[in-house]
Amino acid sequence: MAEAAVSFVIQRLADSLDRLEFHTDVRREVERLQDELRRMRCFLRDADAKQDVDERVCNWVSDIRNVAYDAEDLIDTFTLKISPLKKKHFIRRYTSLVKEWKQRSQIAEGLAALRSRLQDISASRDTYGIQNIGEGTATAIHTSVPSSSLELSLENFRLLRILELEGISCGRIPSTIGDLIHLSYLGLKETNIQVLPSTLGSLCNLQTLDIARNLHLRIVPNVIWNMRNLRHLYMCGQSGGFLRIDNLKHLQTLSGIDVSRWKQNNSAHLTSLRKLKMRGNLSLDTIAIFDSISALLQLRSLYLRAEGAEFPTLSQLGSLHSLVKLHLKGGITRLPSLQEFPPNLSQLTLEYTHLEQESIEVLEKLPKLSIFRLKAKSYSKEELGISANGFPQLEFLEFNSLESLTELKIEASALPRLEIFQIVNCKELRMLPEEMKLLTRLKTLTNFFALQDQASMRGSHFPYSR
């Protein structure tokens, strides 16, 4: 759903304006892009519904969706490459005002280019002959109505298209929710709901359903299969009961599904799925589980959380040729060989994997890896070494809460493209290797000195080991 993608990017832009310190020129472009996306979203509410029956509208919506995805990538670029420069504890090596100005200019130019593309797409409505789409038909609400009044409120908004209740403690959702047949977006994240009414199945035009972070929600009625236009489904790992979703041919995002429910479905029918987040015991029916994941030919992002047992063999992931982002949380007895990793993997995050040095010797040879995060308990040894020519494409490296790590060793010619190195809460790592001086492309080292005596560490001085 293009509207959902645009809404998501609008929210991310808003969050960025709140969280990050933009320079005036970049902030202005962010706000302009935000305004343009808001105007475009009004037209999308009707266009999304018509794209299945009108090829002209389908092409127009596809163009907008691509801009939204590009905007999301640009936000990620800013967060990774620009934002760390503004944190309190950091060192910038080989930096200058000219370089910093160039980075800001590139972001501003990228935002301006996206806004120009949106304006061109908007103008093309006349060319496509769809100029009247959305005029005077869109209705939305971001409500803070208490649960006792919610049912009465819903009766007053029968034409509602967007209902966002995130963070509002509702307890329950009234069955009259099923009367809002025009809803395309329903946000129930962190609403403390315990029961979902079966009337949700009447929402045949729904394209985004978010029920994440509802810890007391144990049963989801088996009615989601009726939402045949659903694009994005965010769950909370509920495992009780049968839940059919494999007829949702437009589903692009599936987050928080328990493996027991995943196994109830035929994943080969989920031909549009791009993002999958799954949790549970992956050691039972291992071959069937990973065969079902391998059937997702369009999958670009995969998060797996092993619960109740360690990860089984992950060798079948090598068949995921479209996968670029992989996040694994849980113990790993044996890491896949180099040939068993997805061939186009560029982003890898590990948590609670308890890896040792031999695993690093495999990971450092991944040919396209550009972002690598080692988070809590992902590495269990005191010493971590990176070999000569290791991580040839890596630009971003993060060590986070590696409690055992006391020494880092880097051989000459390792990490030739590294630009950002974040070290967070690694309390036993007190020194950096002398070879760090050879990382000529390194621009940002964040948080390393947060645990050190600031008075003795100024400017570009590094506490190198000898």
At residue 67, the pLDDT reads 76
Beta strands in 389-443 (DSSP E): 396-400, 407-410, 420-424, 432-433
Percent of the chain with pLDDT over 70: 72
Q: What is the pLDDT of residues 91-137, one digit of tens each?
A: 444 444 455 556 666 777 777 777 777 777 777 766 555 554 444 34
Please state whether beta strands 444-446 and 420-424 pair in parallel, antiparallel, or not at all (unpaired). parallel
Identify the burial level of 251 via C-beta atoms within 10 angstroms of its C-beta, where 0-12 means exposed, 13-18 middle and 19 or more buried: buried
Query: Which H or E element spans position 435?
Result: none
d(C-alpha 97, C-alpha 119), whole Å:
33
| Mean pLDDT in consecutive groups of 10 residues from the start of the chain, 466 residues | 61 60 65 70 58 65 74 69 50 48 68 76 64 44 52 73 86 88 91 91 94 87 94 87 93 94 94 95 91 94 94 91 96 91 96 96 96 96 96 96 94 94 90 90 74 39 54
At residue 180, the pLDDT reads 92
d(C-alpha 225, C-alpha 233), whole Å:
11
Q: What is the CA radius of gyration of the chain?
A: 24
CA angle 15, 17, 21 (to 5 degrees): 125
Are 51 and 61 in contact by the 8 Å Cβ rule? The answer is yes
At residue 456, the pLDDT reads 37
d(C-alpha 123, C-alpha 6), whole Å:
18
Q: What is the pLDDT of residues 6-62, one digit of tens each?
A: 666 666 666 665 555 556 666 677 777 776 776 666 666 555 555 555 666 777 777
